[in-house]
């Protein structure tokens, strides 16, 4: 970015809620069903239907409000946002306008330079999603109303972000929060979390805001960052060339890596918002708010701090393990079987996440149970196998997921701690390597590593390394 300018960015994020049923009717809120199977007269907008608010949607909204430090409005109202589109059966989207359920919150981020920044949230409101148009099957456009009426929360940020990186970090943090709350799966690629960005630039030190544009159609977290960068560059180029920014909506094109204006006809809306007469105001009294706040799960920041305090993990480990709730859950599940906090962390950050990335699976689908990971760690700590043997057991576990002790026994991998047997092997090794013995006696003690290796080779890695070291030293010293 040109250093003369600073960017001013605000995000509008929509999250799809993981409720069992839709916002205003009893239809299932389920992705991937055959078209128009999760529908009823209410979500199809038939004459005479009326909405009845799903209580869970309010609870999820309040949860997110509490988790993002918002004020929860005791009374909020729904409004009709009117526009014509074939995926919108009633001719309006039921949303909130004047009095949203949550306001004035914030999220803290830590930037790559280590500096913390607080980013404001203007409001969070409840609304319903529209259906889906399908254009690629034959000459007609088709409509699938399964998604119609499914619940969304829209989170509107303050224009507090000053770079694409900040916007990216805000979005990642928000995803982390909604997934921790269990109210949304946060999958941008599948559209369960969607983001539009409002971007403007101004000279550094300038107080007045520049003309903003809205950037849409970004379907991954990194694309949000890239699209905002591209838009900032585009605006700087225009200003540098003496031009003016036009207020408009732009679409991000991930293939070409730039933003393109939407046709102006599509954005000239007057939504004619007015209070929805078919729904009563949403009242969240102190008791309800209290019972919702009691169901608030532990949030990522707190969990990270707890991992550091309770499990004595380095900050790096704690950050990585708590970034995604299922990973943190897996870690703590491993701790049900072992007390070796750090080893558990090492195993997850290393071997487990490596497999997950390679196989592109979720940790929930990881083939080895946390219990068996814990048992494996215990086998090492009890001296029954070496770390090296453990690395051999692990691939077997991936295929079989059974008690690692059984695998070790079946494959005769149990560590040999029988001193007399080790003494015999050591005796033979020393006898065959008298040159190395002489070097040792001459003070080149490093050669002991070679000798240990020979013993381990002879025992196929099963000899207890501590015992081997001890016996080797004793025998070598006996040569003096």
Partner 1 sequence: MLQYKTHSQKLNLIKNGKLSLTENVEYFRDSINKNADLNAFNFVFEEVVEESRKIEEKIHDGKYGKLAGMVIAVKDVLALKDKPLTCSSNILKKFKSIYTATAVQKLLDEDALIIGKTNCDEFAMGSSNENSARGVVKNPVNTEFVPGGSSGGSAAAVAAGLCDASLGTDTGGSIRQPASFCGIYGFKPTYGRVSRFGLTAFASSFDTIGPFARSVDDISLLLQVISGKDKYDSTSSDKEVPDFLSEYQNATKLKIGLPQEFFSDGLDPEIRDILYDYISKLKTDGFEIIDIHLPHHEYSIAAYYILTTAEASTNLARYDGVRYTTRSGKKDDLINMYTNTRSEGFGDEVKRRIMLGTYVLSAGYYDAYYAKAQKVRRLIQKDFFDAFEKVDVIITPTSPFTAFKLGEKTSDPLQMYLSDIYTTSANLAGIPGINVPVGSAGNGLPIGMQILANQFEELKLLRLSSYIESNYLKNEVV
Can residue 151 be called a binding residue for partner 1 (CB under 8 A)? no
Can residue 47 be called a binding residue for partner 1 (CB under 8 A)? yes
Q: Quick one: which segment of 5-13, 48-56, 347-355, 444-452 binds partner 1 (CB under 8 A)? A: 48-56
Can residue 333 be called a binding residue for partner 1 (CB under 8 A)? no
State the minimum distance, in angstroms, from the CB of residue 34 to partner 1. Answer: 18
Q: According to CB under 8 A, which one of 266, 270, 287, 294 is a site residue for partner 1?
A: 270
Can residue 277 be called a binding residue for partner 1 (CB under 8 A)? yes
Can residue 478 be called a binding residue for partner 1 (CB under 8 A)? no
Nearer to partner 1, 45 or 465 (CB): 45
Compute the distance between CA of residue 186 and CA of residue 419 in angstroms, rounded to an integer. 56
Can residue 53 be called a binding residue for partner 1 (CB under 8 A)? yes
Can residue 149 be called a binding residue for partner 1 (CB under 8 A)? no
Nearer to partner 1, 131 or 370 (CB): 131
Can residue 86 be called a binding residue for partner 1 (CB under 8 A)? yes
C-alpha distances (whole Å) from 396 to each of 109, 351, 400, 403, 406 are 41, 13, 6, 11, 11
235 and 8 Cβ atoms separated by less than 8 Å: no
Compute the distance between CA of residue 239 and CA of residue 201 in angstroms, rounded to an integer. 9
| Cα dihedral 167, 171, 172, 176 sign | positive
36 and 179 Cβ atoms separated by less than 8 Å: no
Can residue 142 be called a binding residue for partner 1 (CB under 8 A)? no
How many other CB atoms are there within 10 angstroms of residue 377's CB atom?
25
Nearer to partner 1, 45 or 191 (CB): 45
Can residue 46 be called a binding residue for partner 1 (CB under 8 A)? yes
Q: According to CB under 8 A, which one of 3, 32, 34, 50 is a site residue for partner 1?
A: 50
Q: Quick one: which segment of 205-213, 215-223, 265-273, 442-450 binds partner 1 (CB under 8 A)? A: 265-273
Nearer to partner 1, 280 or 323 (CB): 280
Can residue 22 be called a binding residue for partner 1 (CB under 8 A)? no
Question: What are the phi and psi torsion angles at 353 (to 5°)?
Answer: -65, -30
Nearer to partner 1, 148 or 426 (CB): 148
Q: Quick one: which segment of 159-167, 268-276, 318-326, 370-378 binds partner 1 (CB under 8 A)? A: 268-276
Q: How many residues bind partner 1 (CB under 8 A)?
A: 28
∠ Cα 251 254 255 (to 5°)? 120
| Cα dihedral 410, 411, 414, 419 sign | positive
Can residue 91 be called a binding residue for partner 1 (CB under 8 A)? yes
Q: Quick one: which segment of 77-85, 159-167, 227-235, 339-347 binds partner 1 (CB under 8 A)? A: 77-85
State the minimum distance, in angstroms, from the CB of residue 339 to partner 1. Answer: 53
C-alpha distances (whole Å) from 293 to each of 54, 55, 193, 325 are 18, 15, 23, 19
Q: Any residues with CB less than 8 A from the CB of 242 and at least 6 apart, and which?
A: none
Q: According to CB under 8 A, which one of 37, 52, 182, 310 is a site residue for partner 1?
A: 52
Can residue 82 be called a binding residue for partner 1 (CB under 8 A)? yes
HSE, CB side, 13 Å, CA atoms: give it for residue 277.
0
Can residue 143 be called a binding residue for partner 1 (CB under 8 A)? yes
State the minimum distance, in angstroms, from the CB of residue 274 to partner 1. Answer: 6
Q: According to CB under 8 A, which one of 4, 37, 41, 189 is a site residue for partner 1?
A: 41
Can residue 274 be called a binding residue for partner 1 (CB under 8 A)? yes
Q: Quick one: which segment of 80-88, 196-204, 212-220, 357-365 binds partner 1 (CB under 8 A)? A: 80-88
Nearer to partner 1, 50 or 115 (CB): 50
Q: Quick one: which segment of 44-52, 57-65, 326-334, 423-431 binds partner 1 (CB under 8 A)? A: 44-52
Can residue 89 be called a binding residue for partner 1 (CB under 8 A)? yes
Q: According to CB under 8 A, which one of 11, 17, 19, 51 is a site residue for partner 1?
A: 51
Which residues are near partner 1 by CB under 8 A? 41, 44-53, 80, 82, 84, 86, 89-92, 143, 270, 272-274, 277-280
């Amino acid at each position: 970015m040109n250093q003369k300018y600073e960017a001013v960015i605000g995000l509008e994020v929509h999250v799809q809620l993981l409720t069992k049923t839709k916002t205003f009717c009893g239809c299932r809120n389920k992705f991937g069903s055959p078209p128009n199977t999760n529908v009823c007269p209410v979500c199809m907008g038939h004459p005479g239907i009326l909405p009845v608010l799903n209580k869970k949607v309010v609870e999820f909204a309040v949860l997110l409000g509490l988790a993002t430090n918002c004020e929860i409005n005791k009374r909020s109202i729904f409004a009709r946002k009117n526009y014509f589109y074939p995926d919108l059966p009633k001719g309006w989207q039921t949303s909130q306008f004047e009095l949203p359920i949550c306001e004035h919150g914030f999220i803290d981020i830590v930037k790559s330079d280590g500096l913390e920044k607080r980013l404001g949230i203007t409001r969070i409101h409840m609304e319903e999603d529209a259906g889906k148009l399908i254009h690629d099957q034959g000459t007609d456009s088709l409509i699938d109303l399964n998604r119609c009426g499914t619940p969304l929360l829209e989170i509107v940020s303050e224009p507090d972000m000053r770079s694409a990186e900040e916007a990216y970090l805000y979005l990642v943090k928000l995803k982390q929060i909604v997934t921790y709350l269990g109210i949304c799966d946060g999958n941008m690629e599948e559209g369960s979390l969607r983001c539009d960005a409002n971007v403007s630039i101004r000279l550094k030190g300038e107080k007045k805001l520049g003309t903003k544009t809205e950037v849409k159609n970004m379907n991954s977290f990194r694309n949000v960052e890239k699209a905002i960068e591209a838009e900032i560059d585009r605006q700087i180029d225009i200003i540098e060339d003496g031009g003016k920014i036009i207020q408009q909506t732009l679409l991000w094109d991930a293939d070409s890596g730039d933003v393109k204006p939407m046709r102006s006809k599509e954005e000239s809306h007057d939504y004619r918002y007015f209070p929805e007469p078919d729904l009563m105001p949403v009242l969240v009294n102190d008791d309800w708010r209290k019972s919702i706040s009691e169901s608030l799960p532990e949030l990522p920041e707190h969990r990270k701090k707890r991992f550091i305090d309770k499990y004595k993990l380095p900050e790096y480990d704690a950050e990585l393990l708590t970034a995604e709730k299922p990973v943190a859950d897996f870690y703590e599940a491993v701790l049900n079987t072992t007390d070796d906090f750090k080893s558990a962390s090492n195993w997850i950050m290393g071997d487990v996440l490596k497999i997950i990335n390679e196989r592109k699976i979720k940790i929930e689908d990881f083939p080895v149970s946390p219990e068996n990971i814990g048992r494996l760690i215990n086998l090492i700590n009890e001296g029954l196998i070496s770390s090296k043997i453990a690395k051999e057991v692990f691939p077997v576990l991936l295929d079989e997921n059974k008690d690692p002790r059984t695998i070790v026994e079946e494959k005769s991998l149990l560590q040999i701690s029988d001193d007399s047997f080790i003494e015999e092997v050591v005796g033979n090794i020393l006898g065959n390597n008298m040159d190395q013995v002489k070097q040792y006696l001459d003070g080149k003690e490093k050669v002991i590593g070679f000798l240990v290796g020979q013993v381990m080779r002879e025992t196929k890695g099963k000899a207890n390394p501590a015992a081997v070291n001890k016996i080797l030293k004793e025998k070598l010293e006996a040569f003096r």
